[in-house]
Amino acid sequence: MRANDWGGSTGRRRRLTGAAERRQFEARGGEAPPNLFMSKNIFEKIIAREIPADIVYEDELVLAFRDINPMAPTHVLIVPKKSIARLSEAGAEDEKLLGHLLLKAGEVARQLGLDKGGYRLVINNGKDGGESVPHLHCHLLGGRSLAWPPG
Ligand code: 5GP
């Protein structure tokens, strides 16, 4: 369990825990101490309503809530309720879910009035991608003109 142990949103490094990591471990046939899997990551806690979030959309498959540290006037995270650590961990069985997530991101953008001006969807994958929370999520950013290329 070395390659994927980057830290949470505070930048603090920590060991990965939670359902997504359990799935990775099991997929690799790995062994792990039982207490490795006891805690949820921050998005799993939001999905479970263990910590609050400003929720803008929910259905049986996805949850969308405002980012706690917005990078644009509108900054929403759309997350699958299923624990998938990141896009590179998704499989063929997630095809419908990922399509649903993108369609709902577009719906949320419309609902929040971003259609006219435009918006950006971003998925950060892994360390070089800037991922800080190991639960797949799509950033919806809008409400201002966004520069390209990203940093
Ligand atoms: P990443 O860097 O993994 O692509 O995006 C993670 C995002 O989650 C960051 O934009 C960060 O601000 C946001 N975030 C981290 N912790 C929380 C939280 O507790 N609540 C909310 N609403 N957003 C969070």
Evaluate: CB of 131 within 6 angstroms of ligand 1. Answer: yes
Instruction: Report the atom number in ligand 1 closest to the C-alpha of 134.
Output: 3
Write the pLDDT tens digit of every residue in 91-121: 999 999 999 999 999 999 999 999 999 999 9
Give pLDDT, residue 27.
66
Evaluate: CB of 64 within 6 angstroms of ligand 1. Answer: no
Using CA atoms, how far residue 42 sits from 18, 95, 118, 136, in Å, is: 10, 24, 29, 12
Give pLDDT, residue 54.
98
- Report pTM: 0.81
Q: What is the three-class DSSP state of 1?
A: coil
Instruction: Report the atom number in ligand 1 closest to the C-alpha of 69.
Output: 12
User: What is the DSSP-derived secondary structure letter of residue 117?
Assistant: T
Distance 68 CA to ligand 1 centre (A): 6
Average the pLDDT over 111-140 and give the result: 98
Share of the chain above pLDDT 90, in %: 74
Using CA atoms, how far residue 24 sits from 3, 11, 30, 84, in Å, is: 12, 22, 9, 9
- Top pLDDT among 37 and 77 is at 77
Please give the domain boundaries of the chain with CATH numbers for all domains: 19-142 (3.30.428.10)
Residue 139: which H helix or E strand, with range? strand 138-142
Confidence of residue 14 (pLDDT cuts 50, 70, 90): very low
The two structure tokens encoding residue 121: 């969807």
Catalytic annotation on 135?
no
Burial class (CB in 10 A: 0-12, 13-18, 19+), 131: buried
Give pLDDT, residue 142.
98
Give pLDDT, residue 37.
57
pLDDT over 60 at 139, yes or no: yes
Confidence of residue 23 (pLDDT cuts 50, 70, 90): low
Length of the chain: 151
pLDDT over 60 at 39, yes or no: yes
Evaluate: CB of 41 within 6 angstroms of ligand 1. Answer: no
Confidence of residue 146 (pLDDT cuts 50, 70, 90): very high
**C-beta of residue 56 within 8 angstroms of C-beta of residue 64:** yes
